[in-house]
Amino acid sequence: MDECEYWSPVVRRLQADRTDLLNFQAAQRHWEQLQLPRPGRKKTADLYFAFNRIVFDELQRGLPSQILIVDSSKTSRAAFYRPWALQRIAGYEVKMLHLVRDGRGCLWSNLKGSNLKMESGQDPSLRLAGLRTTLHWPLANIGAHLFQLANGREKYIRIRYEDLVTRPSDVLTRLGCFLELDFQEQIQSLQEGDPIPLSHQVAGNRLRSKEKLVLRQDQEWEQRLSSRHRFLFWLLNWPLALVYGYRMGTSGSSETPERAKAQKNNEERR
């Protein structure tokens, strides 16, 4: 991050006072983590507000006022309330792109182990990875739906990973309408098979060593995920999986309301 043109000024400013940084991190955990309420809400709210103002003000320095900042945080346990906190405590306009993937694909990815451990040469395996993913998958999605319930359709859109990689034109068109952006240049580039350039990646991301990315569906789990892990996931998550259009014996290829609507709109344009 010290070498990144966007993040290095933020890092320098935050590192100016180590004590403040630790306090800011504590405030972030207080407001974003999934946990029982604790005392000191007013004090930590002020710290959380100040912390995010520093971060986002530095990121926006020298950029147009209407720039959109993409925060790729997941609504996992550690950041369960982050979208809500950025909106209600830090005072930013927040729109949520809820990216859903078949939980069995997520499970298989976590069974491969920790990327951070892999990079440092350690044993990458994670303890109880199958069970943890099976429990965390619905939790992360519920966090997104809580934001949806509080804000409605104007601030929330759900996209399936499987649709993004197999029907990128439809998905990007829909996303462009939601964000009021034109993705036609990106759509044309993907249709021509151009690779996607990658910028700064954080530690633990398997894409760090790559300069470009080709958009394609990862279906490895369909051949390699064990029956017991499939059964475990489906036993605990079948209601939410069905809502997203997934089926017990198949990948995420079944029709969903979003896909049907996108296909209908394309046919009408033709």
Tokens of 26: 């504590």
Quick one: which of 22, 2, 19 has its CA closest to 11? 2
Q: How far apart are CA 241 and CA 255, in angstroms?
A: 13
Q: How far apart are CA 138 and CA 148, in angstroms?
A: 15
| Burial state string for 119-152 with b = 16 or more CB within 10 A and e = fewer than 16 | eeeeeeeeeebbeebbebbbebbebbbebbeebe
Please give the share of the chain, as a percent, with pLDDT higher than 70.
Answer: 80
Quick one: which of 98, 95, 99 has its CA closest to 180? 95
pLDDT computed for residue 264 by the predictor: 47
Identity of the highest mean pLDDT range in 120-129, 132-141, 213-222: 132-141
Of 67-71, 72-76, 200-204, 256-260, give the lowest mean pLDDT range.
256-260
Residue 120 confidence class, pLDDT cut points 50, 70, 90: low
> For residue 168, how many other CB atoms are within 10 A of its CB?
18
Q: Contact at 8 Å (CB) between 47 and 23?
A: yes
Tokens of 128: 């109880």
CATH 3.40.50.300 fits 95-263, yes or no: yes
138-195 pLDDT, tens per residue? 999 999 999 999 999 899 999 999 999 999 999 999 999 999 999 999 999 988 888 8
What is the chain's mean pLDDT, rounded? 83
pLDDT computed for residue 35 by the predictor: 81
Q: Is the pLDDT of residue 224 over 50?
A: yes
